[in-house]
């Protein structure tokens, strides 16, 4: 009886378990059916909603009034579903960005970035990256501008948009120009010019030729006003003006004539400079951009002694810059008025104009800093929003995980031990996958942070070099000009005072050359052997002008790897050591020959600077700052220096890198 009762109870328990399992399977299948029905309903609604949104977008994108358009576009963004209508969202953000472009570039850039997240439309994407590159260039954010123009170029190459590839190549050259990398600017604009010729796009050819001409003009000025390079600048700018006229683009033709006049002015050919500057001003319209051309004409009159005409033109330039708010050109007008007053010996007005010049210069610098602070604040806000979204996602993921674990516990109580084991294994596997994903995300964040830090450091280097060139360089030049004015403006009979002024002028000129070398090194992340070779040759040429009785020679052996590159610190230190060695030979050695030789010994690069002078006794000579500085510089870059000298047998300095 006991056995029969036990079997009956067991049978009842088994039946109950079977019923429970069947019931669970029924609810599971029912829930799946409901989900399928809901998914079908949502997809049908989504399709209709997308059509309505596309129609609405097409209606508002042709709205002429920007404020009305922006209001309607923002309403559309509120209606669009982030998951279902990405194409509509991308286009809307793009058109919003386009409406702010030039008016509020910070806001435009923010909308372009949002548009890129959703865009898949080729016609829009081919311009989105390019527009972002232009805005970053306006803000002098050159690493980011270069990144965006390369993305634009890559996208257009993949989609065979040849006209846009040509445009992107030329603009990449323009970014290099803004970064003082003029040779790179010429290379990229030549590539772009070849495509423009193939497309027979006259205006595109004009832009490429004009940018090549500007780059040659800057290179000529860097290379001690090299006439050959100025001739190249004039050749390309004249061709650019011709094509601009053929295309009917008077604005670009006007700018190119102004650039030609500026080149002739630098060559001191003021007759030609005046001819092209007046030609630029004769083109009607474009009044808001004529301030700088008027300043250039005023400078020509100033340099040719026509002070009355110079005053009239500079006053006209000042009125133009005030009317159209072009404060950069107003800054230049004040400086030229200051120079005019100095030449007229009206030092009171000269001082007043110089104070106004410095006031605007400081104001423009503060405005730039303010924009950078606003940009940093916007980036900080974006980062905070991203962090909040990440935290919310983490919280939801944790909540989902808790719900899953509870469900597994319920199924575990009903099911068998094997099912519990499988579920446990799946949970463990899932957690491991999440851990790996989190680790990869953290590694990616660290890598992005390093890249961002490097970009900021490069931007700071470029900003410092520009400040050194624009501020300190201009002030040193002003010192030289003031000393010259003192010498020629006053009858100084004290010979000691005259000598002292000449010493200060020579020292200031030397400081400018040192400053240019420093800027040259700061603008480069690395220095090629060819760059270093050119710098050494230029210095030797200047040294020969200092003393034409000395025979100089500079020889690089064939075994030397001329493709070698140095860091900016290495290149600068080697250049300074060779400069110091040549300077000491000129100053103390009384030599008839000075030689610089570069050779390769095993894996080392050896620079030998020797002279045929009177030499010195190493053990008895008093060491000065020059020798100490050379030893310190070579020690900083891990090299060695050896000094060999005997009385009446010359001096030899061997630098091993």
Pairing of strands 565-567, 640-645: unpaired
**Same domain, yes or no: 476 and 575:** no
**CATH number for position 637:** 3.30.565.10
Q: Is residue 606 part of a domain?
A: yes
**CATH number for position 71:** 1.25.40
**Same domain, yes or no: 53 and 131:** yes
Chain segment 152-161, per-residue pLDDT in tens: 899 889 888 8
**Same domain, yes or no: 492 and 565:** no
pLDDT of 351:
87
Q: Is residue 198 part of a domain?
A: no
Chain segment 570-584, per-residue pLDDT in tens: 888 888 888 888 888
pLDDT of 377:
52
Q: Is residue 445 part of a domain?
A: yes
Chain segment 201-223, per-residue pLDDT in tens: 999 999 999 999 999 999 998 88
Alpha-carbon distance of 265 to 292, in angstroms, equals: 14
**Same domain, yes or no: 422 and 541:** no
Residue 410 has pLDDT above 80, yes or no: yes
pLDDT of 310:
87
**Same domain, yes or no: 569 and 488:** no
**Same domain, yes or no: 529 and 652:** yes
Q: pTM (2 decimals)?
A: 0.48
| Cβ-proximal residues to 491 (8 Å cutoff; 6+ apart), any chain | none
Residue 105 has pLDDT above 90, yes or no: no
Q: Are 607 and 582 in contact (CB under 8 A)?
A: no
pLDDT band at 85 (very low <50, low <70, confident <90, very high): low
Residue where one domain finishes, among candidates 137, 157, 186 = 137
Residue 60 has pLDDT above 60, yes or no: yes
Using DSSP's 3-state secondary structure scheme, residue 626 falls into helix
Q: Tell me the C-alpha to C-alpha distance, in Å, between residue 401 and each of 409, 413, 423.
A: 12, 18, 13
Residue 534 has pLDDT above 80, yes or no: yes
- Rounded mean pLDDT, 250-267: 89
pLDDT of 55:
60
Residue where one domain finishes, among candidates 111, 137, 163 = 137
Is residue 23 packed enough to be buried (19+ CB in 10 Å), middle (13-18) or exposed (0-12)?
exposed
Alpha-carbon distance of 598 to 562, in angstroms, equals: 11
Residues spanned by the domain of 465:
393-523
Q: Are 97 and 117 in contact (CB under 8 A)?
A: no
- Rounded mean pLDDT, 591-610: 90
pLDDT of 47:
40
Instruction: Specify the higher pLDDT residue, 175 or 4.
Output: 175
Q: Is residue 106 part of a domain?
A: yes
Q: How many domains does the chain have?
A: 3
pLDDT band at 645 (very low <50, low <70, confident <90, very high): confident
Residue 41 has pLDDT above 70, yes or no: no
pLDDT of 395:
67
3-state secondary structure 248-290: CCHHHHHHHHHHHHHHHHHCCCHHHHHHHHHHHHHCCCCHHHC
Exposure b/e, 588-625, CB count within 10 A at least 16 = b:
bbebeebbbebeeeeeebbbbbbbbbbbbeeeeeeeee
Alpha-carbon distance of 68 to 119, in angstroms, equals: 24
**Same domain, yes or no: 473 and 437:** yes
Q: Is residue 73 part of a domain?
A: yes
Using DSSP's 3-state secondary structure scheme, residue 593 falls into strand
pLDDT band at 237 (very low <50, low <70, confident <90, very high): very high
pLDDT band at 417 (very low <50, low <70, confident <90, very high): confident
Residue where one domain finishes, among candidates 474, 501, 523 = 523
Residue 141 has pLDDT above 80, yes or no: yes
Q: Is residue 287 part of a domain?
A: no
The residue behind tokens 């009317």 is 323
pLDDT of 42:
42
Q: Above pLDDT 90, what percent of the chain?
A: 17
pLDDT of 48:
35
Rounded to a whole number of angstroms, the distance between the first and last alpha carbons of the chain is 104
Alpha-carbon distance of 655 to 637, in angstroms, equals: 11
**Same domain, yes or no: 508 and 553:** no
Q: Is residue 299 part of a domain?
A: no
**Same domain, yes or no: 546 and 454:** no
**Same domain, yes or no: 519 and 418:** yes
Task: Kindly state the tokens that stand for 248.
Answer: 């009917």
**Same domain, yes or no: 487 and 542:** no
Residue 79 has pLDDT above 80, yes or no: no
Residue 383 has pLDDT above 60, yes or no: no
pLDDT of 202:
93
Residue 467 has pLDDT above 60, yes or no: no
How many other CB atoms sit within 10 Å of the CB of residue 435? Answer: 10
Residue 252 has pLDDT above 80, yes or no: yes
Closest among 566, 582, 475 to 521, alpha carbons compared: 566
pLDDT of 450:
75
Q: Is residue 412 part of a domain?
A: yes
- The DSSP letter of residue 551 is E
Sign of CA dihedral 469, 470, 476, 477: positive
**Same domain, yes or no: 86 and 126:** yes
Q: Above pLDDT 70, what percent of the chain?
A: 72
């Amino acid at each position: 009886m006991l056995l029969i009762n036990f079997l009956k109870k067991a049978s009842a328990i088994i039946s109950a378990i079977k019923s429970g399992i069947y019931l669970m399977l029924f609810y599971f299948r029912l829930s799946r059916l409901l989900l399928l029905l809901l998914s079908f309903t949502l997809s049908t609604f989504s399709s209709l909603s997308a059509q309505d949104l596309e129609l609405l977008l097409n209606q508002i994108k042709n709205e002429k009034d920007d404020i009305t358009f922006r209001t309607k576009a923002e309403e559309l963004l509120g209606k669009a579903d982030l998951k279902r209508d990405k194409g509509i969202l991308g286009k809307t953000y793009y058109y919003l960005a386009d409406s702010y472009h030039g008016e509020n570039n910070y806001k435009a850039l923010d909308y372009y970035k949002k548009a890129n997240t959703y865009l898949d439309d080729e016609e829009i994407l081919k311009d989105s990256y390019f527009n972002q590159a232009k805005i970053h260039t306006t803000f002098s954010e050159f690493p980011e501008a270069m990144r965006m123009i390369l993305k634009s170029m890559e996208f257009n190459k993949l989609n065979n948009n040849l006209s846009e590839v040509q445009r992107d190549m030329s603009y990449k050259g323009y970014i290099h120009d803004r970064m003082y990398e003029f040779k790179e600017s010429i290379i990229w604009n030549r590539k772009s010019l070849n495509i423009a010729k193939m497309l027979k796009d006259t205006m595109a050819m004009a832009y490429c030729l004009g940018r090549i001409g500007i780059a040659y003009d800057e290179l000529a000025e860097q290379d001690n006003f090299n006439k050959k390079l100025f001739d190249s600048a004039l050749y390309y700018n004249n061709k650019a003006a011709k094509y601009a006229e053929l295309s009917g683009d008077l604005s670009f033709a006007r700018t190119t004539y102004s650039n030609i006049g500026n080149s002739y002015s630098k060559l001191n050919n003021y007759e030609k400079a005046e001819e092209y500057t007046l030609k630029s001003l004769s083109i009607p319209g474009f009044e808001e951009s004529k301030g700088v051309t008027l300043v250039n004409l005023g400078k020509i009159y100033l340099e040719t002694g026509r002070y009355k005409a110079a005053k009239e033109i500079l006053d006209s330039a000042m009125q133009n810059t005030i009317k159209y708010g072009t404060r950069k050109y107003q800054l230049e007008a004040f400086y030229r008025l200051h120079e005019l007053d100095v030449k007229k010996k009206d030092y009171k007005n000269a001082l007043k104009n110089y104070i106004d010049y410095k006031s605007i210069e400081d104001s423009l610098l503060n405005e730039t800093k303010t924009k950078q602070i606003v940009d940093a604040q916007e980036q900080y806000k974006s980062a905070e929003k991203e962090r909040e979204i990440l935290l919310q996602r983490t919280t939801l993921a944790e909540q989902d995980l808790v719900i899953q674990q509870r469900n597994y516990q319920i199924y575990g109580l009903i099911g068998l031990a094997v099912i519990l084991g499988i579920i446990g294994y799946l949970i463990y596997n899932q957690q491991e996958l999440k851990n790996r994903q989190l680790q990869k995300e953290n590694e990616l964040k660290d890598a992005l942070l390093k890249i961002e830090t490097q970009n900021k450091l490069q931007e700071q280097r470029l900003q410092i070099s520009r400040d050194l060139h624009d501020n300190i360089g201009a002030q040193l030049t002003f010192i030289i000009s003031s000393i010259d004015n003192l010498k020629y403006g006053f009858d100084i009979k004290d010979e000691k005072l005259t000598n002292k002024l000449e010493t200060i002028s020579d020292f200031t000129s030397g400081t400018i050359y040192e400053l240019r070398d420093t800027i040259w090194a700061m603008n480069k992340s690395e220095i090629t052997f060819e760059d270093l070779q050119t710098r050494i040759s230029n210095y030797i040429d200047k040294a020969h002008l200092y003393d034409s009785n000395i025979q100089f020679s500079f020889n690089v052996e064939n075994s030397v790897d001329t493709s070698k590159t140095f860091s900016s610190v290495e290149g600068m230190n080697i250049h300074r050591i060779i400069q110091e060695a040549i300077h000491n030979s000129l100053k103390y050695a009384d030599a008839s020959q000075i030689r610089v030789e570069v050779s390769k010994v095993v894996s080392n690069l050896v620079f030998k600077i020797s002279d045929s002078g009177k030499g010195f006794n190493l053990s008895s000579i008093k060491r000065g700052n020059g020798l100490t500085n050379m030893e310190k510089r070579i020690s900083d870059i891990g090299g060695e220096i050896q000094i060999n000298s005997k009385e009446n047998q010359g001096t030899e300095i061997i630098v091993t890198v």
